[in-house]
Amino acid sequence: MHPTERVTLAFPLDRMTTFPLPAIQSQIEHRLATAVREGLTSRPKRLPPWLFYDEAGSRLFDEITERPEYYPTRTERGILAANAERIIALTAQPKGVRQFRNNPPRLRITELGAGSAGKTRLLLAAAVAHQGTVLYEPVDVSASALETARDRIEREIAGVAVSPRVMDYTHEFELAATSDRRLVLYIGSSIGNFDPWQAAELLSGVRSGLKSGDGLLLGVDLVKDEATLVAAYDDAAGVTADFNLNLLARLNRELGADFYLESFEHRAVWNAQESRIEMHLESRIAQRVWLTGLDLGGQDLAVDFTRGETIHTENSYKYQPGQPEEMLAAAGFTPVETWTDAQRWFAVCLARVA
C-alpha cells in the first residue's frame, strides 16, 4: 500500500502448484526488510500500513470491524444492502448502450483485496439474482487470503464461481481480456490508506486495465466530527491498539527485532489540515531497539527513540462529499451514482468507463 519497491506477482491462483513459491516468498521478505530499514531510518520514523496484515494482524482487523466504534464497515454494509440490486442493474446494462439489447454481455465481479466476504456477498447475490451465475475474481497479493476467500465463497454462495488472481494491484492492474463486463469493487475505504497522489495513480492504473462499459464501485469514508473519527481508531476494548502494536510484534517475529511492546503506546489523531486520521506508535521512554534479521551484510540495525517519539504507521483519509467523484473523473471514469447513509458518514460511488 505504501510502495517502496516494485514487486510483480501477477498470476492466476490455479498456477500456484507449479509456480516457484519460495521465489515469491523471498521477494516478499526482501520487500518487508527494505520497507522496515527505510522507514525506521527516516525522520520522522514510519512504517507502511501493508505491514499490518500478517495472519495475526488480519485477524485483529476483522475484530476491529466488529467494534461498536468502528462505524465504516457496518455503514458501508448498510448502503450496499439497500442498493446492491441497483448497482448491479446499472453496471450490467448501462443506460444509452443499445447495441447489446438482445445479447447483453455477462457481468463479472472483480474485487481489489480479498477481504472477508461480508459486504461482497451482497453484490454477488444480487448478480446471481440478475443473471443466474457470476464469476468472481478476487485480486490480492496474499495467495493464502485468496484461498480462504475462494473456499468460503464457493461454499456459501450458490451460483458463484471464484477465479482468484495473485497480484499487487497497487503497482499494476492487468487482468485477462474478456468480453464480459467487469465491475471492479474497491470497497472498505481502502483507498483512504493512500496519500492523494498514490490514490490518483491507483485509480488511473485500474482505469487503464478496464474497457468501455466496465464499472468501478468505490467505498469512501467521509469527514465527520472529530470525536467519532478518533474513537473509531482508538476503540475502548483496545483492539485497534493491539492491531497497531502487532506491527512491532511482527518485526520481532520476522526480522529479529527486540521491540518491548509495553514501551510503546498506540496513538490515533485527527489531522484536520490533511483530512486524515493518523495512527502512530509512541515510545514511552528513550530507548534503543535492535533488528538483527535485516540481512545488512552481517550488520545489525540499531534504532534509537527519544521519549515521546513516534513511528507513523497509517493514514486514513476522510473525504468531503463530492471529492470521490472528482477523483474518479480525474482518473478517467464517468461517475454514475453515489449512495450514502442517513448520517452521510460513508459514500459508495459507482463510476464507469465511457
Give residues in contact with ligand AVI (CB under 6 A): 64, 72, 188-190, 192-193, 233, 240, 314, 316
CA distances from 125 to 85, 106, 117 (A): 9, 15, 11
DSSP 8-state class, residue 129: H
Identify which of residues 339 and 346 has a Cβ nearer to ligand AVI in the complex: 346
Cell of 15: 498456477
Cell of 51: 505491514
Minimum CB separation from ligand AVI for residue 346, in Å? Answer: 11
Cβ distance 332 to 207 under 8 Å? yes
**Can you give the length of the chain in residues?**
354
Q: Minimal CB distance to ligand AVI: which residue?
A: 316
Burial label, 307 (beta-carbon count in 10 A; 0-12, 13-18, 19+): exposed
Q: Who contacts 56 (Cβ-Cβ below 8 Å, separation ≥6)?
A: 246, 249, 250
Minimum CB separation from ligand AVI for residue 317, in Å? Answer: 8
Residue 338 sits at the vertex; the CA angle it makes with 87 and 112, to the nearest 5 degrees, is 65
Minimum CB separation from ligand AVI for residue 203, in Å? Answer: 16
Cβ distance 167 to 141 under 8 Å? yes
Identify which of residues 71 and 333 has a Cβ nearer to ligand AVI in the complex: 71
Identify which of residues 154 and 274 has a Cβ nearer to ligand AVI in the complex: 274
Look at residue 174 and give its three-state secondary structure: coil
Identify which of residues 57 and 213 has a Cβ nearer to ligand AVI in the complex: 57
Minimum CB separation from ligand AVI for residue 155, in Å? Answer: 25
Identify which of residues 110 and 190 has a Cβ nearer to ligand AVI in the complex: 190
Q: What is the number of other CB atoms lying within 10 angstroms of the CB of residue 304?
A: 10
Minimum CB separation from ligand AVI for residue 141, in Å? Answer: 14
Identify which of residues 66 and 151 has a Cβ nearer to ligand AVI in the complex: 66
Minimum CB separation from ligand AVI for residue 57, in Å? Answer: 10
Cell of 9: 506477482
Identify which of residues 259 and 317 has a Cβ nearer to ligand AVI in the complex: 317
Minimum CB separation from ligand AVI for residue 188, in Å? Answer: 5
Q: Who contacts 86 (Cβ-Cβ below 8 Å, separation ≥6)?
A: 337
**CB burial string 8-45: b at 16+ within 10 A, e below:** ebbebbeeeeeeeeeebeeeeeebbbebbbebbeeeeb
Strands 346-352 and 334-340: antiparallel
Q: What is the number of other CB atoms lying within 10 angstroms of the CB of residue 224?
A: 15
Identify which of residues 193 and 214 has a Cβ nearer to ligand AVI in the complex: 193
Identify which of residues 170 and 189 has a Cβ nearer to ligand AVI in the complex: 189
Alpha helices in 111-195 (DSSP H): 120-131, 143-156
Minimum CB separation from ligand AVI for residue 67, in Å? Answer: 9
- Residue carrying C-alpha cell 526480522: 255
Minimum CB separation from ligand AVI for residue 330, in Å? Answer: 21
